[in-house]
Amino acid sequence: MAMEPGPEAAGAQVRRRRGLLGLGLSAGIFAALVAQPQPARAVDEIQLYNAEIAEVGQFTVQQHLNYTFAGRKEPDFPGGFAPNHALNGTPEFAWGITSWFELGLYIPWAVSEDRFLSNAFKLRTLFVTPNADKKSFFYGLNFEYDYTTRPFSPTLFAMEMRPIVGWRNPQWEFIVNPIVDFGFGKNGDIDFLPAARLARKITDDVQLGVEYYTDLGRPGSFLPFEQQAHQLFAVTDFKVGAVDVDFGIGYGLTSGSDRWVAKTILSYAFPVGDQPDDKAHGMKAPPTMKASLRSPSTLQAAADPFAGMR
């Protein structure tokens, strides 16, 4: 004959059941939060990093301008602004610290529905292969530390980690940036945004290429394909005097993408020491564009990607 559990044993069983029930509910809530797609941050920089940095002691400046001709008409999160007909701009300042380290500052802004919106500032630390423009294989790692505002992001603090891997020869270059974005706080999330570039040198000062940008969502639980962002850009890089110009037109391939976007990046590097102005070049500009600015000996070295490595 089975004995009835005593009061203490019965209480322990009740507490165990309540604990298991609470654990199950917590796991269910966590799983629901993990499965729920989180909003993406506004994009203020449409660019592939190619592991180039400013020379030691050199200051550089870039102006990013992106305009969405036809895009999503609803904000990505409550309090945000809709990308459709929005102009995003980002002045970017950088300083070459060493041959492998560059420090940068962004001051992003946007104009949407006749409103000027500030996105505070971002700091950037870029670590790269020294003399990346002279190597056939190059790599680097960029960290961006963001202090954001509500129209641009659901979180106050965010960070970007951007690995850089690329290959080039005198005619072609291929670059991959498997970007990961982190948002901190109760509305924070992780986004995986891989991007790639394939470009060909046409002349010493002109490149033509294609760039592919994505936003897949949280690693391990990507959004359905149609909700992901996939944009294909036709791009050209050229020079106007001492200014490097990057221009592209992008087309969204999914309903989660902005349909038509134009981007422009203007880059200028201040001369270092006694360096003449026409020897300066913009940071992260395609290396093949700089060939016409170099001496004949440097041109010969650039034509051979393995020069100096034998």
**Predicted confidence band at 273 (pLDDT cuts at 50, 70, 90)?**
confident
Q: What is the pLDDT of residues 5-59, one digit of tens each?
A: 555 554 555 454 444 334 443 443 333 333 344 444 557 889 999 999 999 999 9
Query: Which domains does the chain possess?
Result: 49-303 (2.40.160.40)
pLDDT, mean over the chain: 83
**Predicted confidence band at 133 (pLDDT cuts at 50, 70, 90)?**
confident
Q: Give the pLDDT mean for 106-125.
A: 97
Q: What does the pLDDT read at residue 175?
A: 98
CA 272 to chain centre: 28
At position 171, the amino acid (one-letter code) is Q
Q: What is the pLDDT of residues 184-225, one digit of tens each?
A: 998 899 999 999 999 999 999 999 999 999 999 999 999 999
Q: What does the pLDDT read at residue 272?
A: 87
Q: What is the pLDDT of residues 80-99, one digit of tens each?
A: 999 999 999 999 999 999 99
Q: Give the pLDDT mean for 107-136.
A: 96
